[in-house]
Amino acid sequence: MNINFTLIAQAIAFAVLIWFTVKFVWPPLLSAIETRQKEIADGLAAAQEGKSALEVAAKKSEVTLNEAKQKASEIIGQAEKRGSQIVEDAKGVAKTESDRILAGGVADLEQEINRAKEGLRSQVSALAIAGAEKILRKEIDANAHSEMLSKLAAEL
Amino acid sequence: MATENAEHALTPSSYITHHLSFNAKPIGDGSFWVLNYDSLIMSVLLGAVVMGLIWWVARSATTGVPSKGQAFVELIFSFVDEQVKNIFHGDRHSFIAPTALTVFLWVLAMNAMDFLPVDVMHHFVYAPLGLENWRSVPTSDINTTFALALAVWFLMIYFSIKAKGLGGWVHELFYAPFGGAKFFKPKSAMGYVGLLLSPLLFVANFAFNIIEYVSKPLSHSLRLFGNMYAGEVIFLLIGLWAATGLTGTIFGAILGAGWSIFHILIVALQAFIFMMLTVVYLAMAHESH
Report pLDDT digits (tens) over A69-79: 999 999 999 99
The model's confidence at residue A138, banded by pLDDT at 50, 70 and 90, is low
Residues of chain B with confidence (pLDDT) below 50: 1-7
DSSP per-residue codes, A40-61: HHHHHHHHHHHHHHHHHHHHHH
The parent domain of residue B154 ranges over 12-286
Q: Among B274, B157, B171, which residue's Cα sits nearest to residue B214?
A: B157
- Bridge partners (DSSP) of residue B34 are B26
Q: Quote the pLDDT of residue B111.
A: 95
> Looking at the complex, does the CB of residue B213 fall below 8 Å from at least one CB of chain A?
no
In chain A, the number of structural domains is 1
Query: B35 and A4: CB-CB below 8 Å?
Result: yes
B59 is catalytic: no
Report if residue A111 sits inside a domain.
Answer: yes
Report if residue B5 sits inside a domain.
Answer: no
Q: Which residue of B has its CA nearest to A6?
A: B35
Q: Quote the pLDDT of residue B9.
A: 60
Q: Contact B278/B119 with Cβ under 8 angstroms?
A: no
pLDDT tens-digit map of A2-30: 788 889 999 999 999 999 999 999 999 99
Q: Quote the pLDDT of residue A141.
A: 64
In chain B, the number of structural domains is 1
Report if residue A120 sits inside a domain.
Answer: yes
Backbone angles phi, psi at B61, to 5 degrees: -65, 130
Report if residue B235 sits inside a domain.
Answer: yes
pLDDT tens-digit map of A91-137: 999 999 999 999 999 999 999 999 999 888 888 888 888 888 788 76
Q: Which of B63, B95, B221 to mutate to test the interface with A (most CBs of A within 10 A)?
A: B63
B residues 102..141 contacting A (CB < 8 A): 102, 106, 138, 141
Report if residue B50 sits inside a domain.
Answer: yes
Query: A36 and B36: CB-CB below 8 Å?
Result: no
Report if residue B3 sits inside a domain.
Answer: no
Report if residue B7 sits inside a domain.
Answer: no
The whole model's pTM is what?
A: 0.75
Report if residue A71 sits inside a domain.
Answer: yes
Q: Contact B118/B242 with Cβ under 8 angstroms?
A: no
> Looking at the complex, does the CB of residue A20 fall below 8 Å from at least one CB of chain B?
yes
Report if residue B176 sits inside a domain.
Answer: yes
Report if residue A31 sits inside a domain.
Answer: yes
ipTM (interface predicted TM): 0.85
Report if residue A13 sits inside a domain.
Answer: yes
Q: Which of B17, B144, B153, B220 to mutate to test the interface with A (most CBs of A within 10 A)?
A: B144
Report if residue A78 sits inside a domain.
Answer: yes
Instruction: Tell me the helices (H) and strands (E) count for chain A, helix number first.
Output: 3, 0
Q: Quote the pLDDT of residue A128.
A: 83
